[in-house]
Each structure stands twice: as structure tokens, then as C-alpha cells.
């Protein structure tokens, strides 16, 4: 029995000390070898060009301004102007009613954002699944038993068994997800 054990240990030591089958030379590798080179513009047709490369015709020179103005599309400005004209044309009562409706809608929106439960959720998603519970329980038992493995080797065997069972339940749970 001792000879068999020494033979196994010797084989493991020889396997651990052997050189790796595949080695990698970091100083001989060209890291840019897989990148595509951008094609040049030929006859006005551009293919696979970086968006950062610009022709001289497309660059417009403007003078620098210290005043920051927001850039908006003309359609957005027209929509805002139309909305402002409609609001100005409303009576005082209609404006008050509009403000009140906007406030109630904002309160509803902020309440939805603050609440942890979203529309369409049920209580089943809050609870742990049976397999997930069992995986957590067996995993915790396996870790605790592995802490006691210094006392007796039986605890180590039980810890490994509990961890394997926990992994099986975790895989079953992951397969269903």
C-alpha cells in the first residue's frame, strides 16, 4: 500500500515539475496584427474609414465665441414656441388646472421611481426559489464543516459532500433561469 502511495505521489510530482506543452513569447507578438488599416478615400468613395478622419472640404472654420448658446434643432424651437403660445392663450383657470395636473403627474412619477415594486411584479419574484435555498443552505453547511476539518477528517468528507450537493442545486436553479 505504501509503495502504491509513493508511486502516485511520485507521478504527481513528476507531472507538476514537467515543462508546459505550450509556451508563449510575449516579446515576439505584434499586437496590431489583427487591426484593419483604414482605407483611403479614392474617387470620392469612402469605405471603412474612421469617423475621426475628415476631408478638408467638410471642415468649416468659424470664429471662437465666448458666449455659450445651447444648440437646438429648428423643429424643437418651433415646437417650444407653439407650446408657449398655447399656454399664453389659456385662461387663468386653465393654467391653474394645467399646473395642478402636471404636479399630480410628477408626484405619480416620483412615487413610481421611489417604490421598489414595479408594475407587473408579483410576490413570487421576491422569494427565493426552492433549489436556490437548498444550494445556499448546503453551501453554508459545507463551509462550516470545512472549518471543523482540522478536528477530524470526517468533517472534511462531510464538507465536500455538502458542497457538492449545494453545487448540484445551484446548477439546477441556473438551468431553469
Please tell me which residue, 29 or 7, carries the higher pLDDT value.
Answer: 7
Each residue's pLDDT tens digit, 34-77:
777 665 555 555 455 555 555 555 555 555 555 555 555 566 67
Distance from C-alpha of 116 to C-alpha of 64, rounded to nearest angstrom: 48
Which residue intervals of the chain are DSSP H helices?
Answer: 2-17, 74-89, 92-114, 130-147, 153-176
Report whether pLDDT(156) > 80: yes
Amino acid at each position: 500500500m505504501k509503495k502504491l502511495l509513493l508511486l502516485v505521489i511520485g507521478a504527481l510530482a513528476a507531472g507538476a515539475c514537467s515543462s508546459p506543452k505550450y509556451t508563449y513569447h510575449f516579446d515576439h507578438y505584434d499586437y496590431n496584427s489583427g487591426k484593419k488599416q483604414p482605407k483611403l478615400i479614392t474617387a470620392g468613395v469612402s469605405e471603412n474609414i474612421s469617423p475621426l478622419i475628415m476631408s478638408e472640404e467638410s471642415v468649416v472654420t468659424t470664429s471662437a465665441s465666448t458666449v455659450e448658446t445651447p444648440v437646438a434643432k429648428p423643429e424643437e424651437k418651433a415646437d417650444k414656441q407653439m407650446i408657449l403660445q398655447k399656454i399664453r392663450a389659456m385662461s387663468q383657470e386653465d393654467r391653474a388646472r394645467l399646473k395642478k395636473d402636471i404636479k399630480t403627474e410628477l408626484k405619480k412619477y416620483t412615487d413610481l421611481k421611489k417604490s421598489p415594486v414595479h408594475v407587473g411584479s408579483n410576490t413570487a419574484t421576491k422569494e427565493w426559489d426552492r433549489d436556490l435555498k437548498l444550494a445556499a443552505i448546503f453551501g453554508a453547511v459545507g463551509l462550516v464543516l470545512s472549518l471543523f476539518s482540522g478536528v477530524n477528517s470526517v468533517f472534511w468528507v462531510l464538507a465536500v459532500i455538502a458542497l457538492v450537493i449545494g453545487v448540484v442545486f445551484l446548477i439546477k436553479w441556473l438551468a431553469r433561469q
